[in-house]
Amino acid sequence: MVGVSRFSVSVDPGLLEEFDRTIEGLGYNRSTAVQVAMRGFLSEHKWGEGAGEVVGAITLVYDHHVSGLVGELNHLQHEHLGIISSSTHVHIDHDNCLEILAVEGPASHIKSLAGSLAVTRGVKQLKLSILEK
């Protein structure tokens, strides 16, 4: 044990109430929950310039009826073969598709691919999850 650091924070009371309710359901105390949240935040934000090799997933939801969208998404994926390890496609309902891309490679390339996918017309949501190797 290398000791602990203590700090105090100011938060919206409603947010804290919801936080406490949620962590109680998970069996966490505040210290554990804040550490879990901090690690998640760091893995989401500290990668970027010079972050090196990472692994992760790009999850997107899109409306496959939007003209040209499916072709554009295919094009982008073929352009980035080197960093896409696999992809899974799920037909969610009549209009929407869910696609999950497993990615591995330089953080900057993955960020660039996610950025290109996110701004493709018809893409409704995109989430990028990055984990350090």
Contact residues for Ni ion, defined by CB under 5 A: 91, 97
Q: For the chain, give the longest Cα–Cα distance.
A: 58
Query: By C-beta, is 38 or 90 nearer to Ni ion?
Result: 90
Q: How far is the CB of 96 from Ni ion (least distance, A)?
A: 8
Query: By C-beta, is 36 or 90 nearer to Ni ion?
Result: 90
DSSP 2-54: -----------HHHHHHHHHHHHHHT--HHHHHHHHHHHHHHHHS-STT--EE
The single residue listed with the structure tokens 């949240």 is 37
Q: Considering just the CA atoms, what is the radius of gyration of the chain in Å? A: 19
Q: How far is the CB of 18 from Ni ion (least distance, A)?
A: 35
Q: How far is the CB of 123 from Ni ion (least distance, A)?
A: 13
Closest-by-Cβ residue to Ni ion is: 97
Q: How far is the CB of 47 from Ni ion (least distance, A)?
A: 30
Query: By C-beta, is 65 or 91 nearer to Ni ion?
Result: 91
| Three-state secondary-structure class, residue 106 | strand
Share of the chain residues as helix, strand and coil, in percent rounded to the nearest 5: 40, 30, 30
Query: By C-beta, is 50 or 71 nearer to Ni ion?
Result: 71
